[in-house]
């Protein structure tokens, strides 16, 4: 009777150990799935941040292109206006020599105002370009910080997974030793 009870007890212990190992395997699989999901989420966040930065950069490039086009158009309009004014001044100087001096003064004043306007447009464009560069630099920095943070989180998850794996291995090893020890302690008939 003692042998039968011990055998039943050992079988129950073995079943419990197997159940615990099965539960540990399920836990390991769940942790692995969670780690993969976390990695996927981190990659998605990095991709999303990268795409957002790329969209912003593209928008900045469009804005800079628009500003260049506007500046070129203003320059062309200035040139056309200057050519027109010179033609008028030439015609009027031939027709009205008495008023030529006044028209030249007016033409010079107009040219200076237009140059001043062009200079103001250049200053404004340079300021906007500087702001766009600063925004681009801050976005790059934010992206780099996000990438570093993501990398640190992934390393932390990896260390945690490795620690848990090592604990599970130790537990399995202890259970095997206990099982082996219990097998060696079985009384022999």
CB within 8 A of 2, min separation 6: which ones?
A: 187
More confident residue, 2 or 138: 138
pLDDT digits (tens, 9 = 90+) for 155-189: 999 999 999 999 999 999 999 999 988 888 755 55
pLDDT digits (tens, 9 = 90+) for 13-22: 899 999 999 9
Percentage of the chain beyond pLDDT 70 is 94
Instruction: Give 75-129 as a DSSP string.
Output: HHHHHHHHHHHHHHHHHHHHH-GGGHHHHHHHHHHHHHHHHHHHHHHHHHHHHHH
For residue 152, the model assigns a pLDDT of: 93
For residue 48, the model assigns a pLDDT of: 92
What topology does CATH give the domain 2-184? Helix Hairpins (1.10.287)
Segments making up each domain of the chain, as ranges: 2-184
Judged against a pLDDT cut of 80, whether residue 1 lies above it is answered with no
User: What is the reported pTM?
Assistant: 0.31
Spatial separation of the C-alpha atoms in residues 172 and 175, rounded to whole Å? 5
**Across the chain, which distance is largest between two alpha carbons, in Å?**
141
More confident residue, 169 or 121: 169
């Amino acid at each position: 009777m003692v042998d039968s009870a011990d055998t039943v007890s050992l079988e129950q212990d073995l079943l419990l150990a197997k159940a615990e190992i099965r539960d540990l395997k399920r836990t390991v699989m769940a942790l692995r799935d969670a780690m993969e999901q976390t990695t996927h989420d981190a990659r998605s966040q990095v991709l999303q941040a990268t795409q957002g930065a790329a969209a912003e950069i593209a928008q900045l490039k469009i804005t800079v292109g628009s500003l260049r086009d506007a500046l070129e158009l203003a320059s062309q309009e200035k040139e056309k206006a200057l050519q027109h004014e010179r033609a008028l001044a030439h015609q009027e100087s031939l027709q009205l020599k008495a008023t030529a001096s006044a028209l030249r003064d007016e033409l010079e004043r107009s040219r200076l105002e237009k140059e001043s306007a062009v200079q103001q447009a250049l200053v404004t464009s340079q300021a906007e370009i500087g702001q766009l560069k600063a925004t681009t630099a801050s976005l790059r920095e934010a992206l780099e910080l996000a990438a570093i943070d993501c990398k640190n989180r992934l390393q932390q998850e990896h260390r945690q997974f490795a620690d848990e794996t090592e604990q599970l291995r130790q537990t399995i090893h202890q259970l095997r030793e206990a099982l082996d020890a219990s097998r060696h302690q079985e009384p022999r008939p």
